[in-house]
Structures are given as C-alpha cells and as structure tokens.
Structure 1
C-alpha cells in the first residue's frame, strides 16, 4: 500500500516566497504609474542609487559581505557582472517607460515571451538540444510576432526588447557565481558611479525632480527598496523549490500585469493582439508541459 507523502514545510515556504516575489513584480505597474511627470531615465537613476544603498545596509545586517568582497577582489571576472548590470538596467528603464507610456500590455507580453526566449538562447548560444514541444512553442511565439507585424504594420518592440534583455541577463547571470542578493548588489555597485554622474548632470541642468517634490522624492527612494525585496523573496523560493515549480509560478507576474493593463489602465486589446496572446499562451502551455514531463521523478515510498 502506498503511503501519502507528508507536506514538505520547506516547499510550503518556497511557494509562499515565490508568490510574494511574483505578485510584487506583477503589481509594479501600479507603483511606477505614480511617477507622473518624471522621466523614466530619472526614475531608473534613482532606482539604481537607492537599491545600492539599501543593499549596503541589508548585506551588513545579514552579514553577507564575504561573497561580495570575494567578487570585488577579482576584477578580471567582473566583466560578465558588468554586462548583467547593463542588461538589467536597460530592462528596468524600458519597463518604466512602458508603464509611463501606457503600454503595460506590451510589457506583460514581453515577460510571457521570456521563457521562450530562454529556449531560443539556449539553443543558439549554448547549443542545447530542445525537446520537440519546446520547439513547437517557440514556433508559435515567432508566428504570433510575425502576425502582429504583418497585420498591424509594426513589431511589438517593447515586448521583444524586454524579453531579449531579460533572457540575455539570465544567460550571463548563470555564469556569475553569486547568489541573488550579492549579485544584485555588485551589479548596482558597478552602475552606481554612472548613476551619480547622471543625477549630478540632471541637478546641474535643473531637470532633477528630487527634493523639489517631497512625496515624489519619497517614492524615488522607495523604488530602490522595492527593487530588492521581491528579489530576496525569489531567492528564498529558488532555494526551496524545483525549477519546474518556479517556472509555473513565473507566469503570475505577467498575468497580473495583463489584468492591470485591461482593468485599471484601460488599455485597448484588439482582436489581432488577443489572437497573438492566445498563441503565446498556447506556446507557454506546451513549454510548461514539456518541462513538467522532463522533471526528475521522485521515488515513491511503499
């Protein structure tokens, strides 16, 4: 007789952390929509500055300086970290622009596309062998983008650039031996001097909004804190959950963004866009099924 396995408390914690991370990321459009009149470039600068300063305090509190100092003591190995930093900064900035320009649907499409972009990068760059269903999923996504281009006369460039930048970030990030928290700190630390120069230039030009509007200044500072919190939750989930489980939770983020774009921001969704979304969702279903089928099987206790 087969005994039922007891619920793993670590897995329950992992799901809780994962839900926290992806729900926070999914609700980011509501937060960045508050920055009315502040350019995406300036918000990005403050996001880098304040997330770096917040992480200094957090890493000190958690006593996690060892991996950071080890990474910084090997400057020749910081090249990939710098590439990661530039890619994630580009991704952050473009995402903020998408929210400010009321193109959250495109942003959600970009994050729906990201797993399929990861498949393509794995095949093209790492020469990984893809399962047949994964190739079919990639083909459906490519066909959906081609239909948008043919029928609407324009590429969903925000979606494509968000997916490509985040997918490429993941590709390089795998080659960096740093945990999520330490890695984010080193990335923002490398960008910190550029952000300081940029904010100094904005202040000198008289274009800085910081300290001129106290509520907005507070939101700019909070943007740095909100950058780190979901990443910490994600790291907690990644340590406790299988990659396939984490992959399923990942769809919560763009799904929330999709609903926010339709119900709160009132963005229009034409029939062609809806059809391409359905094609990509079908591709993701095939991709998820393929990943689930290839997951390591747990031994059954008799």
Structure 2
C-alpha cells in the first residue's frame, strides 16, 4: 500500500507539472508533438527493455486475444489523452485540463464499482458527492459543455481500467503501447517532412534535446502509474490523482495568468474537502477490514 501510494504521488505530480514542459513547444502543432512524444517514448522504453533483457518475453505479453485487445485499447486511449492535453496546454486551456483531471477520479471510481465490483463505504460515497458538486459548479461556471475536460477524464479513466483489468507486465505492456502507434507516428513525421511543413528543424538545439527527453517525461510517470494500479485499489488511485489537476491549476493561475473566478475557488474547495473525507473514510474502512481479518484469524 505504501509503495503504491508513493508511485501514484510521483506519477501525478509529474503529470501536474507537464504544462511547463509542453509550453516550450508552443510553435509546434499538437499532432507533431504527439508523434515525437510517441517515437521518443518508444526509444526510452526500448532502452529499459534492453537493460532488463526482456526482449524475448515481449511476444508472450500479447499471446492471447484478450491481451492484444487490451494493449491496443491502452495505446489508443493514452494517445488520445496525450493529444488533447498537448493541444489544450498550447491553446491556453490549462484550467480546463485541470477540470478534466478533477473529473477523472469520479469516473475512475464509477468504473471500479461497476466493472471491478469494488465496494465503497458511506463516507467514500459522500466524498464522491462533494467532489461531484465541485465539478458541476466548475462546469456550470464555464457556461458550455467542457468537451476537453470530459474527453480527458473519460479517456484516462478507461485507460486506467484497461491497465487494471489486463494485468500485463508493466514494462513490456508499456512497450507494446508505444509499438502499436509507432508506425503511425513515424509515417506522419516522414509525411510532414516531405511536405515541408515539419517544424522540428526550426527548433534550437536545446529544444531538440528537450523534445527527445519527452520519452523520459512520458514513460516514467506511466511506469509509476502502472505500478500504482497494480498495488492499490483503482478507486484510491483515482483520488490520489487530485495532485495532478491541483498542480496544473496553480500553474494556470499564478504562472500562465488564466482567469480564476470566485465560483472556481468554491469548486476547488469542495473538491479538496472531498479528498479529505475520502482519505479519512478509506483509513477507517481499512482499519475495520484489518480488525475483521484478525478476528477471523483468531476464530
């Protein structure tokens, strides 16, 4: 449990700081950034697989139909999530990405209850109600359907569910996720280069190096996230995710100078209150389960 929480915190804190990273490449179209992100992510995980001497085991990861479907779904869902996030950050919509990742835990919990049959205590259900109220106020304040936020929330929640259900090897599963979309990414980069519309050659040397390091910035938090989903209930992983949107929210307000209204402050307060309630309810439930297990062991 402790290791899972550490992995989850590291992954979500990194994701919360990513707007700072993608703002370096505002001159590049989102599709081009995504293609480079996939290519360099593959390079990084390939290095990890080489050091771990696991290339021979790679084929066995997708030996059955269920695993192949899971890998393809994970690859497509995370690629869609990356694209939306990059586009939103570079179009001054960091606040809406924050809203999306506030919504995601609610959807993750719902998926966990429906598909994984996880049970929540009354306190946990109350925390969901509080968080839902905060998100609803944010959505109403926008005055329109926040499609970016909804798409980000749904795509990442489904990605987490697929990772949890597939039970794939962490490193090899991540390798396959990049392999699936690698040919498309390489083909796209070659196409825009031939068309003369690529912006990669216009980057400075420092920016080129930073773009290549996007593989590390992408794969490491995904690796930590995968470890967390194996060690923790999906519902708890979902609520730890509040670290990422909170970090992004603070960046949007204090660094990117995006407007932050009084209603958004109220929403923010409700969501953090829900996190406190959920944490307390989870510890209470965990202690009750432990006492029950001890009683059953004695009897």
Paired position in structure 1 for 2:180: 190
Q: Which structure shows the bigger proportion of residues in helix conformation?
A: 2
Matched-pair contact (CA < 8 Å) for 1:180–1:231: no
Matched-pair contact (CA < 8 Å) for 1:17–1:236: yes
Superposed counterparts of 1:23-38, under 5 Å: 23-38=13-28
Matched-pair contact (CA < 8 Å) for 1:181–1:231: no
Matched-pair contact (CA < 8 Å) for 2:163–2:226: no
Paired position in structure 2 for 1:155: 145
Superposed counterparts of 1:41-120, under 5 Å: 41-74=31-64, 77-120=67-110
**Runs (5+) with no aligned partner, structure 1:** 1-9
Matched-pair contact (CA < 8 Å) for 2:108–2:234: no
Shift of 1:170: 0.9
Give the TM-score, by structure 1 length. 0.82
- RMSD, aligned CA: 3.0
**Runs (5+) with no aligned partner, structure 2:** 295-299
1:201 is aligned to 2:191: yes
SS at match of 1:88: helix
Q: Which moved more, 1:183-192 or 1:255-264?
A: 255-264
Q: Give the whole-Å Cα distance in 2 for the aligned partners of 1:197 and 1:44.
A: 13
1:179-229 superposed Cα distances (whole Å, 9 cap, x missing partner): 332221111101111112221222222221223324333222111121122
Paired position in structure 1 for 2:297: none
Instruction: Report the CA distance shift for 1:103/1:170 in structure 2 as closer, same or farther (over 3 A).
Output: same
Give the TM-score, by structure 2 length. 0.83
Instruction: Report the CA distance shift for 1:275/1:19 in structure 2 as closer, same or farther (over 3 A).
Output: closer
Paired position in structure 2 for 1:274: 265
1:254 is aligned to 2:210: no
Superposed counterparts of 1:208-287, under 5 Å: 208-213=198-203, 214-234=205-225, 250-287=241-278
1:233-288 superposed Cα distances (whole Å, 9 cap, x missing partner): 45566778898986775433332222222221112111122222222222333333
Q: Which moved more, 1:17-26 or 1:43-52?
A: 17-26
Instruction: Report the CA distance shift for 1:138/1:247 in structure 2 as closer, same or farther (over 3 A).
Output: closer
Matched-pair contact (CA < 8 Å) for 2:100–2:149: yes
1:37-92 superposed Cα distances (whole Å, 9 cap, x missing partner): 11111111111111012211111112233542212444563112111111111111
Shift of 1:135: 2.9
Instruction: Report the CA distance shift for 1:155/1:168 in structure 2 as closer, same or farther (over 3 A).
Output: same
Matched-pair contact (CA < 8 Å) for 1:26–1:253: yes
Matched-pair contact (CA < 8 Å) for 1:51–1:228: yes
